[in-house]
Amino acid sequence: MLYCVGDIHGHKDQLDIALERIEADGGPMASVVFLGDYIDRGPESRSVVQTLFDGIAEGRDWVALKGNHDRYLVDFIADPTYRDPKMRAGYTWFDQRIGGNATLASYGVDMSNSRPLEDIHAEACAKVPEAHIAFIKGLPTLHVTEDLICAHAGLRPGVALDNQDEEDLLWIREEFHDDPRDYGRLVVHGHTALEAPQHFGNRVDLDGGAGFGRPLTAAVFDGRDCWVLTDAGREPLTP
């Protein structure tokens, strides 16, 4: 069995609930894949990253995939003027809809509106641990099992797994969502927030909108069969 957790977006309290449900269902050594977007919007991005960092360092059977929001932090530390070209027009990382201000605040950075960008950047470089930046940089973008393909956003249809591009794995939406093909395995992803997790037959979207105040989704897969974990136990998720 494999457990998967949708986009956390800085909500450590929701992550704790998800981990408790996973342990109750599969024990402390359960295999877990986190689908990316650990930071932004919620108030505790630093604690979320630290929890994943510590768990993996302690030898838990965890895989943390890289999300597009996670990469925002790395890019900002490298160049505060950098803007991801795939970001929606008119948005910046500090836009409340994106949530970078909440991420830096969780690291103790003063995010007062009047502060110059160079001052925010200098403080961020001093307060965001280098170990967190290295951790995010080194995160994989795919996790493949006999029955599942896990990626943050999805796959580029018609492209072999070995040739998938990081930009697609972190950002793709419509081209993947609108493609009904069977990929040989069930694709499990997040990135596109829904009102609740949904099974589309060839793919499962586990981003239930925790970044917007909805519950974080943890699910368990046995082969290609899927159940969402709740306080009352497993609830089947079917097409």
The CB density around residue 124, as the number of other CB atoms within 10 Å, is 20
Q: What pLDDT was estimated at residue 90?
A: 83
Distance, CA of 148 to CA of 186 (rounded, Å): 5
User: CA–CA distance from 168 to each of 68, 143, 163 (Å)?
Assistant: 10, 15, 11
Mean pLDDT of 76-93: 91
Q: What pLDDT was estimated at residue 88?
A: 86
Using 50, 70 and 90 to split pLDDT, how confident is the model at 89? confident
Using 50, 70 and 90 to split pLDDT, how confident is the model at 212? very high
Tens of pLDDT, residues 24-53: 999 999 999 999 999 999 999 999 999 999
The region of weakest confidence among 60-74, 78-92, 194-208, 218-232 is: 78-92
Question: What would the two tokens of residue 206 be?
Answer: 């586990």
At a CB cut-off of 8 Å and minimum separation 6, what does 152 contact? 35, 36, 37, 65, 66, 67, 68, 141, 169, 170, 189, 190, 191
Q: Which of 208, 202, 209, 210 is nearest to 235 (CA)?
A: 208
Residues 75, 46 contacting (CB under 8 angstroms): no
Residue found under tokens 């519950």: 215
Question: What would the two tokens of residue 164 be?
Answer: 């998938």
Q: What pLDDT was estimated at residue 169?
A: 98
Residues 193, 7 contacting (CB under 8 angstroms): yes
Mean pLDDT of 141-163: 97
Model pTM score: 0.97
Distance, CA of 129 to CA of 9 (rounded, Å): 19
Q: What pLDDT was estimated at residue 130?
A: 98
* Total count of residues recorded for the chain: 239
Q: Virtual CA dihedral for 85, 81, 66, 197, nearest 10 degrees?
A: -60
Tens of pLDDT, residues 93-140: 999 899 999 999 999 999 998 899 999 999 999 999 999 999 999 999
Distance, CA of 188 to CA of 34 (rounded, Å): 10
Q: What pLDDT was estimated at residue 91?
A: 87
3-state secondary structure of 37: coil
Q: Over 90: is that where the pLDDT of 150 sits?
A: yes
